[in-house]
Amino acid sequence: KNEVEQSPQNLTAQEGEFITINCSYSVGISALHWLQQHPGGGIVSLFMLSSGKKKHGRLIATINIQEKHSSLHITASHPRDSAVYICAVFTGNQFYFGTGTSLTVIP
């Protein structure tokens, strides 16, 4: 069973397109993270959310606690945004990770 589900698994977009990645979870959480992983394995934390919405540059993350759902949006996508985006939830005891969304942005 997967506590965290992401969609889509793979996404290809043209440069400049608006991108949405979705995350649904089945456990009670105290925080949700959006992570970015580039080839080679390094993971960078983009956002940590417990409610509402956060924006950082071209990235926007939203969470709906009642619906157990979060979205990551990328506006005006760029080839350097190509990476795997992982949703992770913290239950208070442990982190659970989605399998990631592999994004490729084509020039």
Partner 1 sequence: GAGVSQSPRYKVAKRGQDVALRCDPISGHVSLFWYQQALGQGPEFLTYFQNEAQLDKSGLPSDRFFAERPEGSVSTLKIQRTQQEDSAVYLCASSPIRYEQYFGPGTRLTVT
Which residues are at the interface with partner 1 (CB under 8 A)? Answer: 4, 30-31, 33, 35, 40-45, 48, 86, 88, 90, 92-100
The DSSP H or E segment spanning 63 is strand 59-64
Facing residues of 97 across strands? 88
CB nearer to partner 1: pick between 41 and 107: 41
The minimum distance between CB 76 and partner 1, in angstroms, equals 27
Supply φ then ψ for residue 51, to 5 degrees: -165, 160
CB nearer to partner 1: pick between 60 and 90: 90
| Cβ neighbours, 10 Å, residue 20 | 14
CB nearer to partner 1: pick between 92 and 107: 92
